[in-house]
Every structure is written in C-alpha cells, then in structure tokens.
Structure 1
Amino acid sequence: MSTRRKRVVRKKRRQKTPIFKLILIIIFGVGIYFTYSVIVEIYTTFELKAQLAKVEEELQNIKDENTYLIAQKAKLEDPDYVQSYARGNYMLTKDGEEIFYLPAIEDK
C-alpha cells in the first residue's frame, strides 16, 4: 500500500471513531438506566414485602380481638353470667343480702 492510501484509510478511521464513541456512550447510558430501574424495583419489592408482613400481623391481631369480642358477646347474652359479673365487680346484691369486707391476708 502506498503512503497516500494509508493516509486515506487513517482519515476514514478517524471519521468513524467519533460515531463509534457516541454509540458506546449511548449504549452505556441505556445500560446504566436499566440497571438503575432494576435496583429501584428490587428496593420497592422489599419495601412492599415488609409492609405486607406488618399488615398481615395487624390482621391477625384484629382477628384475635374479634374472636375475643365474639366470646364476650356470647357470655353477656347469658343472664347468669351478667348477674355474676355485676355482683363481683360492682358489689350489687340481691334483696336481703349484705356485703362483708374482709381484710386481706398478708404473707409474712
């Protein structure tokens, strides 16, 4: 190859190099964008899983409380239980009964 031909080839390579660099920069930028998007999605997934666990725990607590309240409702529908509860907690008496307060026994 002649020197003149070599110069022409070098000149063409130099002209192609900026386009190649631009394409590489664009590909690199797109790669960074997709990597960032994946990281954000993973972070969001972990946050949602933590929130789901918290809500499921709250739901279980509410279900337990609901079960307790249903049992209390059933007890309060029984007249004997209501009478016993009122006599024990509010010191209510039947006609002719008296309440005696006894001193507490102290352990020595």
Structure 2
Amino acid sequence: MKKQRDKKYKNPFTMGVYYFTLMCITGFFTMGIVREFKTYFDLKTEVLANQQLRQETLELKQTLENEKKNLTNPDYLEFVARGKYHVSRNGEQVFVFPSLSQGLEGDE
C-alpha cells in the first residue's frame, strides 16, 4: 500500500497539477490581501481629507458667527457701509484713493 502511495505522488503530471493548484490558491489569497491593503490606504487618505475639510468648515463657521455678531453692532455697520460701499452722510464728500498694491501694479 505504501508503495502505491509513493508511486502516486511521484508521477510528474500529478505533482505538476498539485503545485499549479497550490500556486493558484496562493495567488488568489495574495491578490485579496493586496486589495485589502489598497482599500485600507484609500480609506485612510479619504479620512484625512475629510478631517481637513471639517477643520476648514469649522473655521469658516466661526468666522461667519463672528461676522453675524458684528452685524448687530451699529458702529461696525457704519464702518462697513462707509469703507466698502462708500456711503456718506448728507454734506460729506467721499474720496477714494487706490490702495498701495493697486498703485504698485499700475506703475509696472
């Protein structure tokens, strides 16, 4: 019985099929592992990007909340109206001068 078993495993064709099957199974599992690592790193990159976006959104929210609070202040409203929109009181004259950065760009 032992001689038949030894002879069966020594057949080159049987050994080739056996090794080919093992290589296919190993390749299949290796591909699965590689795919899992790729998924892991893709998700990690996405999480980092989302954390950065969240931080930027929180900063924008804080800025908007500060501006909302300032818009209830009449002095700030007057400052914005006069500075940005050139609103004046009756009898006032508004002179608009170019900023330094605009003056430098115009000289070139």
Tell me the TM-score normalized by structure 1. Answer: 0.69
Equivalent of 1:83, from 75, 78, 81?
78
Instruction: Please tell me the residue identity of whatever aligns with 2:93.
Output: I
Counterparts of 2:97 and 2:21, CA distance in 1: 89
Q: 3-state SS of the aligned residue for 1:86?
A: helix
| Structure 1 position 62 matched with structure 2 position 53 | no
Q: How many residues align?
A: 94
Counterparts of 2:55 and 2:40, CA distance in 1: 22
Choose 1 or 2 for highest CA Rg.
1
Distance 1:15 1:103, change over 3 A: closer
Unmatched 5+ stretches in structure 2: 104-108
Equivalent of 2:36, from 37, 41, 44?
41
**CA offsets per residue over residues 8-48 of structure 1, 9 Å max, x none?**
x5xx4554424444333222211110011101111121111
Distance 1:75 1:102, change over 3 A: closer
Map of 2:106 onto structure 1: none
State, as a whole percentage, how many aligned pairs show the same letter: 20
Q: After superposition, where does 1:1-108 map in structure 2 within 5 Å?
A: 12=4, 13-16=6-9, 17=11, 18-95=13-90, 97-101=91-95
Tell me the TM-score normalized by structure 2. Answer: 0.69
Instruction: Please tell me the residue identity of whatever aligns with 1:98.
Output: E
Counterparts of 1:60 and 1:102, CA distance in 2: 38
**CA offsets per residue over residues 46-101 of structure 1, 9 Å max, x none?**
11111221121111111111111111111111122112211222222234x41253
Segments ≥4 residues shifted beyond 3 Å: 12-16, 18-21
Distance 1:32 1:103, change over 3 A: closer
Instruction: Please tell me the residue identity of whatever aligns with 1:101.
Output: F
